Amino acid sequence: MAIEIKQQLRLSQQLVMTPQLQQAIKLLQLSRLELADVVTQELEENPVLELSEDQDEDLPQEVAADSHEAENTATEAAAVPDEVSEHRDASDAEKIADIDWQSYAEAYPQTGFQGESREEDERRSLEGTLTRRETLGEHLDWQLQLSDFSAPERAAAKCIIGNLDDNGYLRADLDEISRAAGVSLDVAESALCKVQLFDPAGVAARNLRECLLIQIDRFGAEDPLVRVLVSDHLDALQRRDFRGISRALGITPEEVAVASRLIGRLEPRPGRPFGGEDPIYIIPDIYVYKIGDEFHVVLNEDGLPKLKINQLYRDVLTGGATAVAKDTRDYVQDKVRSALWLIKSIHQRQRTIYKVMTSIIKHQRDFFERGVQHLKPLNLRDVAEDIGMHESTVSRVTTNKYANTPQGIFELKFFFNSSINRVEGDAIASESVKEKIRRIITAEDPRRPLSDQRVAEMLRSANIDIARRTVTKYREAMNILSSTKRRRVG
């Protein structure tokens, strides 16, 4: 059979995601900060959009109706009967009467001299007062400038500081330091000894043993056993083999335990205070309030830009402005269509988050009432079927979203847990089992810590069917040490 090229006409159906649908899906999974960045970028690129104090102004009819519905729901949820007075705009006289004139006069004294800058706000800007945390290298360079170093030693010390890792350990050999600085090996060793005297104690050490010994010398530990343990028995000490150390040294395990507690107060990572990233504070997307016997959901709209269509461009389409060229009209119409779709997508995102949170409260009411131990097994399919949406939509909505509940701030993903079977009765959520394991270990005798097998038996007696390896997995996920490393002696 010969191979030849032919033209064929086929009629088929396939799902095509329009750019608008892709944008709506993207907005669903964005966090609060990411959504604000997207809106800000769209404000810069689309001249039709502008900020508005009234969010419903200039919205299409169906969008405005949905917005009113969401706002009415949130208002009813947050309302407290008989405690909130009727809101009305204050008059000019009332506004003036509310001003603390004494504080105003102290903050802005009226002198005879009026400089040119009196018309502007004299307070320093945020950029003028913003500071950042000092790095380990900067902290050591500052001490280097104040120390007595010869020129060759100073060059070697700079190389040493430049080769420290985030934990404060030296990750280069002295041979490499001497070659890089162009000094002799003796000069590099002398510079290293001086740098190791810097703050924080233990910095520029080449290993853990040297780091701890530097701190012992710095703080002047009176017990000689502390130095012996670090010098000769550090590996056994990390395994908490107190009996083996006591047999080797001919002392009691209690004496080893006392010395090990002193060693435990030392810092194994001297650079820790200068490392890591700055903390990121969570702003909840949802607030859950309990009013009476009911839980109410209020979306956090604070900080999110409110958008509307610019009146000038709206007049171009409605004919209120002077006649414009067809190309200009088509351009404005395209931008208006894009702006309306963005506004509608944001409102749809907020409605979906509201529906998902309401469904979570319905399934996890015991958690909101009594805490983590009463969390129930829940999967995406349960919520998707409840609100009539697809599982992928629920998954996107619960990504990087946080809720402020009566039990604390939790990510929406937290409420979806796998199930652990009970000996009798319904299943229990895995997070509830983790909380029970944490409480059991917290209440144990530190001299006789419970093994994972013993914890599994205690859970089984509490009507939770769980294997030892599952206990081990949950314990490690919570960063809890094994029973041998939790044991205390003395």
The stretches of 388-429 forming alpha helices (DSSP H) are 391-397
The CA R_g of the chain, rounded to the nearest whole Å, is 33
Amino acid identity at 215:
Q
Say if pTM beats, i.e. exceeds, 0.95.
Answer: no
Amino acid identity at 473:
K
Question: How far apart (Å, rounded) are the C-alpha atoms in residues 260 and 234?
Answer: 10
Of 119, 161, 117, which is closest to residue 139 (Cα–Cα)?
161
* Residue 73 pLDDT > 50: no
Question: How far apart (Å, rounded) are the C-alpha atoms in residues 337 and 46?
Answer: 11
Between 21 and 122, the higher pLDDT residue? 21
Over the stretch 150-195, which tens digit does the pLDDT of each residue have? 999 999 999 999 999 989 999 999 999 999 999 999 999 999 999 9
Task: List all residues 6 or more positions away from 396 whose beta carbon is below 8 Å from its beta carbon.
Answer: 25, 28, 29
State mean pLDDT over 398-405.
91
With contact defined as beta carbons under 8 Å apart, do 285 and 32 qualify? Answer: yes
Mean pLDDT of the chain: 81
Residue 238: predicted pLDDT: 85
Residue 122: predicted pLDDT: 57
User: What is 420-486's CATH topology?
Assistant: Arc Repressor Mutant, subunit A (1.10.10)
Provide the token pair at 91. Answer: 């008059």
State mean pLDDT over 14-34.
79
- Residue extents of the structural domains in the chain: 136-274, 420-486
Residue 125: predicted pLDDT: 65
Over the stretch 78-105, which tens digit does the pLDDT of each residue have? 333 333 333 444 555 554 555 555 554 4
Question: How far apart (Å, rounded) are the C-alpha atoms in residues 256 and 250?
Answer: 10
CA distances from 45 to 48, 60, 311, 339 (A): 9, 21, 17, 11
Q: Looking at 52-56, 58-62, 208-212, 444-448, which range is the least confident one? A: 58-62
With contact defined as beta carbons under 8 Å apart, do 319 and 333 qualify? Answer: no
Amino acid identity at 131:
T
State mean pLDDT over 94-123.
49
Question: How far apart (Å, rounded) are the C-alpha atoms in residues 155 and 253?
Answer: 47
The stretches of 265-319 forming alpha helices (DSSP H) are 311-318
As a whole number of Å, the end-to-end CA separation of the chain is 90
Which letter does DSSP use for residue 118 in this model? G
Over the stretch 294-324, which tens digit does the pLDDT of each residue have? 999 999 888 777 888 888 887 777 765 566 7
